[in-house]
Amino acid sequence: MKFLVSNWKMNGDVEFAENFFEKVNRIDTKNRVIVCPPFPLLHKFKDFSHSLGAQNCSERTSGAFTGEISPLLLKDLGCEYVIIGHSERRRMFNESDETIYKKYKTLTDLNLTPIVCIGETEEERSEWRDVLSIQLNKFKDDGNLSRAIIAYEPIWSIGTGKTPTAAEIHEVLNFIKRTTHSKCPTLYGGSVNIKNISDILRIPSIDGVLIGGASLKIEEFSEMVRCSVC
Ligand code: PEP
């Protein structure tokens, strides 16, 4: 079994969600498929045969926080997973490691699984160990870590068509596993598509992939869901 996480980002509409549901629902697969549409489309995935996730959440569960989304409400809507710390949120919405850790705590306390994204920029590529160590610092010895998933997403690879080599991904995922005492699954994300997914899923240290753009092509994603390299 490999994890296949589909991150729609701020894409899709009601019609797209209905088409996606119809095509992907009930595909027979050994993989754990987790679909993360935008918040207003989550309700379209009621009775979905695969798993549902959200792309972000508040670190709090209720209160006077206009515009925030409670993880409790996400649970109510059927979400089992929540992506946190995506590089787009870190960079464009100034999310700090501290905030991401608070979200992780809230989620694991609620028995929701955080998918914690970490990764280095192009400029930081030669220092990836230092960058990832800082991003993992609060999590690595946390008692709830076995309830989380870590996704390695090099920022220079997201949406660019550029991917690290299989050996590079293997080295980084092994580093993450060593740092976190192999307590949780480790995924790779960044320009995964129908052409490279089989090779990527054959990397020994990988537990799955996070797919952005290519998961919006419903036929292509359906084929990836069926992928049985795993
Ligand atoms: C992502 O946004 O997490 C991602 C992996 O995007 P893409 O697959 O488009 O590179």
Q: What's the pLDDT tens digit per position in 106-132?
A: 999 999 999 999 999 999 999 999 999
Among residues 173, 82, 38, 180, the alpha carbon closest in space to that of 119 is found at 173
Q: How far is the CA of 63 from the centre of ligand 1 (A)?
A: 32
Range of the domain at 9: 3-226
pLDDT reported for residue 181: 94
Cβ neighbour number for residue 89 with a 10 Å cutoff: 18
pLDDT reported for residue 227: 85
Q: How far is the CA of 11 from the centre of ligand 1 (A)?
A: 12
96 class by beta-carbon count within 10 Å (0-12 exposed, 13-18 middle, 19+ buried): exposed
The residues, any chain, with a CB within 8 Å of residue 163's CB and separated by 6 or more, are 157, 169, 190, 191, 192, 196, 200
- Report which ligand 1 atom has the smallest distance to the Cα of 215: 8
**Catalytic (active site) residue 153:** yes
Low-confidence ranges of the chain (pLDDT < 70): 230
pLDDT reported for residue 228: 75
Q: Active-site residue among 50, 59, 86, 88?
A: 86
**pLDDT, tens digit, 9 for 90 and up, residues 170-182:** 999 999 999 999 9
Alpha carbon distance 183, 161 (integer Å): 30
pTM over 0.85: yes
Beta strands, E only, the chain:
3-7, 32-36, 51-54, 81-84, 113-118, 149-152, 186-189, 208-211
Q: How far is the CA of 217 from the centre of ligand 1 (A)?
A: 13
CA gyration radius for the chain?
16
Look at the chain and report how many structural domains it folds into: 1
- Identify the residues whose C-beta falls under 6 Å from ligand 1: 7, 153, 158-159, 189-192, 210-214
Looking at residue 53, which CATH number applies to its domain? Answer: 3.20.20.70
Cβ neighbour number for residue 209 with a 10 Å cutoff: 26
Q: Whose CA is nearest to atom 6 of ligand 1?
A: 212
**Catalytic (active site) residue 127:** no
Q: How far is the CA of 190 from the centre of ligand 1 (A)?
A: 5
Q: Are 206 and 5 in contact (CB under 8 A)?
A: no
